[in-house]
Amino acid sequence: MTGQTLDAGPPINPYIALIVGTMAVSTGAIFARLADAPALVIAAYRVGIASLILAPIAWWKARDEIARLSRRDLKLAVLSGFFLALHFATWISSLDYTSVANSVVLVNTNPLWVGLLTPLVVKEKLRRAMLVSIVISVIGGTIIGYGDFATGSKALLGDGLALAGSFCAAVYLLLGRNLRRKLSLLPYIFICYGSAALILWLIVLALGLPISGFSTGTIAAFWGMALIAQIIGHSTYNWALKWLSAGLIAVSLLGEPIGATILAYIIFDEGLTAYKAIGGIFILAAIYIAASSESQKN
C-alpha cells in the first residue's frame, strides 16, 4: 500500500470496492447482536483488534511513510480517529436511551452533514445530483424507521447522541477524503483506527466496564467485527476516498441498513416490513444517482 504512486489510477474499480465495503460493513450489526457485551466494549474491541492486526503490517510496509508524515497530516489522521471513536461512542450509547429506529434514522443523516461541510473541509463543490441523492437517501432512512419511533425525555437524549454520532461520522469521512489524496491507505487507517481504539479503551476503563470473561461466541463476534466490518468494510471505504467524493461514500454507507436487514432476515428470521422495502428502494435510488453524478464528474 505504501510506496505506490499516489497519482496513479485505481487498481480496481472504486464502485466495486463500494459494493464490497457495504457488504462487509453490513455484518457489523449482526456481530454486535451476537456479542454478549456492553456496546462500548464491543466498539473498543472492534477497532482495538483491527489496530493490533494492522500494527505489524504497518511497521513492515509503512513505517518510512509514517515517519515522513508532516505534523499537520499526523494531527489530522489522529483527529479522524478521534471522530471515529466519538461516532461509535455516541451512536452506540444512544441505543440505551432511544429506539433502534430513532438511532438508525438519525445516525444515517450523515450525508446531510457531509453536504454542508464538504465546501468548508475539502473545498469541493457538491453537484446538484449529489445534493438530490443526499435528500433521497435521508428520506429512505426515515421510511425504514417509520412506525418504530420512540418519544419522551429519555428518547430525546438518545436522539441527540445519535445525531452527534452522525455528525462525527461525517467529519471522519471528510478528514479521510482530505488525507487520502496524498497519503497511502495503510498508514492512514493504522493511525486512524489506532487513535480511535486508544480513546475507546480509555472510555471503557474509565467507566469500569467489563473487559474479560466473555464467551467463545462473543470473542468470535469481536474478531468478526474487527476483520470484516472494520478492516475490510471501513478500510475499503477509506481506500475509495482517494478517488470518490465523501458525499458518495456517505450515501453508499446507507446501504448498510439494507444489508443488515437482509442478513437479519436470514440469520435471525426477522421480518421484512413494507417500510423497510420502500426505504431500501429510496436508498438504492440515491446511491445510483450519486454514483452516476460521480461518473460524469470523472
Cell of 271: 421480518
For residue 5, name the pLDDT band (cuts at 50, 70, 90).
very low
pTM to 2 decimals? 0.79
- Round to whole Å and give the CA distance between 274 and 122: 38
Spatial distance between the Cα atoms of 230 and 214, rounded to a whole number of angstroms: 21
- End-to-end CA distance of the chain, in Å? 23
Q: What is the pLDDT of residue 89?
A: 87
pLDDT at 202 over 90: yes
Which amino acid is present at 109?
Answer: T
Confidence of residue 203 (pLDDT cuts 50, 70, 90): very high
Mean pLDDT of 80-96: 87
- Give the pLDDT confidence score for residue 297 in this predicted structure: 56
- Which residues are within 8 A (CB) of 7 and not within 5 positions of it... i.e. 6 or more apart? none
Q: Give the DSSP letter of residue 126.
A: P
- Which of 115-124, 172-181, 193-202 has the weakest average pLDDT? 115-124
Query: Crossing angle for the helix pair 128-145 and 246-253, nearest 10 degrees?
Result: 20
Candidates 23, 30, 43; CA nearest to 269 is 30
pLDDT at 117: 77
pLDDT at position 147 is: 54
pLDDT at 6 (0 to 100): 45
Residues in the chain: 298
Place of cell 513492515: 60
- Distance from C-alpha of 45 to C-alpha of 42, rounded to nearest angstrom: 5
Q: Which residue has the higher pLDDT, 121 or 214?
A: 214
Q: Would the pLDDT of 90 be above 90?
A: no
Grid coordinates of 189: 487507517
* Backbone angle region of 36, left / alpha / beta, with phi > 0 → left and psi within -120 to 50 → alpha: beta
Instruction: Tell me the C-alpha distance between 193 and 52, whole Å.
Output: 10
Q: Is 152 left (phi over 0), alpha (psi -120 to 50) or beta?
A: left
